[in-house]
């Protein structure tokens, strides 16, 4: 791997992982909302966002908490975003999900935030590839399965894509405090520079290099591989490649990395940044 890129790093990314979906802990009374949590919720409500569900739906418990937050803080959520249908694990039909995203593009809101990950985002992209490039550049946010949309929007439309917690994770107070504060700072402009902590170099090139600048691209490793030979196939040459995954064994990670090597996707990459690879059994 050292021969392929100039720098290899290991760090814990700003994003989060799907297995934390079960930690739904919204308090039922305002007395139990701490000052920091309250401030973050109010900051989210102040953003001009459109929430879309390009992948799987959300659980009934998370939907209940989402409606509670909407009522309490006035967080902007459309009826389509709150729909909790389950069409072969997806939030809705392809046609309805495409319509929701087209509505988001036409909305005056600058930020499009995916409600959840899971499965199904890539089903939308061949049709979206036929659309004209939107006149207004927006920011799209998500992770996991939404990696395909992030790649499409950034590479095809030159949108800003942020690999970060999906919107439904605002119902998880642990993630809210550790992940959302930084993300909100980026979105509202108060954070101009983000310093990644706990970076560990794992080859000589990384140990010798003090700084490195470049465009960051990537996301979920499984989804990156899925995108080969599609309209949203990753093009990492000359960029810093970021990869993460969840619930995959070490041998599957190795196999996927070797596939990236064989396919030439690592040729000309400035650096590889490994994010979280969680619950990887032996």
The verdict on 225 and 182 lying in the same domain is no
8-state DSSP, 129: T
Host H or E run for residue 208: helix 204-208
Rounded alpha-carbon distances, angstroms, from residue 50 to 8, 114, 128, 167: 36, 9, 18, 10
Going by C-alpha positions, the residue among 261, 263, 254 that lies closest to residue 228 is 263
Cβ atoms of 236 and 217 closer than 8 Å? yes
Burial degree of 65 (CB within 10 A; 0-12, 13-18, 19+): buried
Q: Domain containing 224: what range?
A: 196-278
CA–CA separation, 265 and 236 (whole Å): 7
Residues 6+ away with beta carbon under 8 Å from 134: 105, 157
CATH of the domain at 232: 3.50.30.60
Q: Please report whether residue 8 resides in a domain.
A: no
The verdict on 87 and 213 lying in the same domain is no
Cβ atoms of 104 and 52 closer than 8 Å? yes
Residues 6+ away with beta carbon under 8 Å from 222: 245, 248, 256
Q: Please report whether residue 93 resides in a domain.
A: yes
Tell me which of 134, 158, 188 is where a domain ends: 188
- At residue 62, the 3 state secondary structure works out as helix
The verdict on 259 and 172 lying in the same domain is no
Structure-token pair, residue 265: 């996707």
- What is the pLDDT at residue 4? 34
The verdict on 47 and 175 lying in the same domain is yes
The verdict on 175 and 246 lying in the same domain is no
Tell me which of 141, 165, 188 is where a domain ends: 188
Buried b (16+ CB within 10 A) or exposed e, 153-163: bbbebebbbbb
- Number of domains present in the structure of the chain: 2
Host H or E run for residue 243: strand 240-246
The verdict on 184 and 200 lying in the same domain is no
CA–CA separation, 177 and 84 (whole Å): 26
Sign (positive/negative) of CA torsion 101, 107, 110, 116? Answer: negative
The verdict on 57 and 134 lying in the same domain is yes
Cβ atoms of 137 and 159 closer than 8 Å? yes
The verdict on 243 and 149 lying in the same domain is no
CA dihedral 185, 191, 193, 195 (to 10 degrees): -50
What's the pLDDT tens digit per position in 28-66? 444 456 888 888 999 999 999 999 999 988 888 888 898
CA–CA separation, 269 and 6 (whole Å): 8
Q: Please report whether residue 13 resides in a domain.
A: no
Enumerate residue ranges in the chain where pLDDT < 70: 1-33, 84-88, 280-282
- What is the pLDDT at residue 87? 59
8-state DSSP, 168: G
- What is the pLDDT at residue 209? 86
How far the first Cα of the chain sits from its last, in Å, is: 22
Q: Would you say how long the chain is, in residues? A: 282
- What is the pLDDT at residue 19? 34
The verdict on 138 and 210 lying in the same domain is no
The verdict on 205 and 184 lying in the same domain is no
The verdict on 264 and 183 lying in the same domain is no
């Amino acid at each position: 791997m050292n021969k392929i890129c100039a720098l290899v790093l290991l760090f814990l990314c700003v994003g989060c992982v799907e297995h934390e979906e079960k930690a739904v802990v919204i308090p039922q009374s305002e007395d139990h909302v701490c000052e920091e949590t309250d401030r973050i919720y109010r900051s989210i409500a102040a953003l001009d966002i459109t929430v879309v569900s390009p992948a799987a739906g959300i659980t009934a418990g998370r939907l209940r908490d989402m409606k509670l937050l909407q009522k309490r803080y006035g967080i902007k959520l459309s009826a389509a975003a709150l729909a909790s249908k389950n069409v072969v694990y997806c939030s809705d039909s392809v046609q309805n999900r495409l319509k929701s995203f087209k509505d988001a593009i036409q909305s005056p809101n600058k930020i499009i935030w995916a409600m959840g990950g899971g499965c199904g985002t890539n089903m939308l992209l061949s049709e979206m590839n036929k659309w004209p490039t939107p006149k207004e550049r927006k920011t799209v946010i998500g992770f996991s399965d939404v990696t395909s949309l992030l790649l499409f929007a950034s590479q095809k439309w030159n949108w800003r894509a942020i690999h970060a917690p999906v919107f439904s994770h605002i119902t998880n107070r642990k993630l809210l405090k550790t992940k959302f504060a930084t993300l909100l700072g980026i979105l509202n402009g108060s954070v101009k520079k983000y310093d990644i902590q706990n970076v560990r170099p794992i080859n000589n090139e990384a140990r010798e290099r003090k700084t490195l600048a470049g465009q960051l691209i990537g996301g979920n490793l499984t989804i990156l591989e899925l995108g080969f030979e599609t309209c949203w196939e990753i093009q990492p040459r000359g960029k810093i490649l970021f990869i993460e995954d969840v619930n995959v064994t070490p041998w599957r990670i190795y196999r996927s990395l070797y596939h990236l090597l064989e396919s030439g996707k690592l040729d000309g990459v400035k650096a590889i940044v490994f994010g979280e690879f969680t619950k990887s059994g032996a």
